[in-house]
Amino acid sequence: MKKGSRASGTNPRALGTNKRAMKGVMSKAKRMGWNPAEKAGGALPRWLRFEILKRDGFRCSYCGARSSDGATLQVDHIKPKAAGGTDAPANLTTACGDCNAGKAARKLNEGLL
């Protein structure tokens, strides 16, 4: 991994959220009438998935992989919904299929053992 690359850490929150981009996502959420607190389950709206992918530069927040590298990008919950996480944009990040499958329903800092 290159020094100073976006995915040099393992905590997506440590990557620094672009406040301007987050403001844009929340503004669009309001216009679309979407409130993460009201959604109990189900899939995220397509527009929200796209906004999260765009905010994260279309690369995995954990390993830095891009779709142009052959990675399948997904939107992942930083704090899993199973652990009380929400669908709020601040709790969503871009992950490649391998990183998301390896993480499963736990926080990244939680070990397997």
pLDDT band at 53 (very low <50, low <70, confident <90, very high): very high
Give the pLDDT score at 9. Answer: 43
pLDDT mean over 91-99: 92
Whether the full predicted model's pTM is greater than 0.75, yes or no, is: no
Q: 71: how many CB neighbours lie within 10 A of its CB? A: 20
**Residue 109 in tokens:** 């800092």
Do 93 and 12 meet the contact criterion of CB atoms below 8 Å apart?
yes
Alpha carbon distance 87, 58 (integer Å)? 19
Mean pLDDT, the chain, as a whole number? 74
Q: Write the class of the CATH domain 18-103.
A: mainly alpha
Each domain of the chain, given as residue ranges in start order, spans: 18-103
pLDDT band at 57 (very low <50, low <70, confident <90, very high): very high
pLDDT mean over 28-47: 68
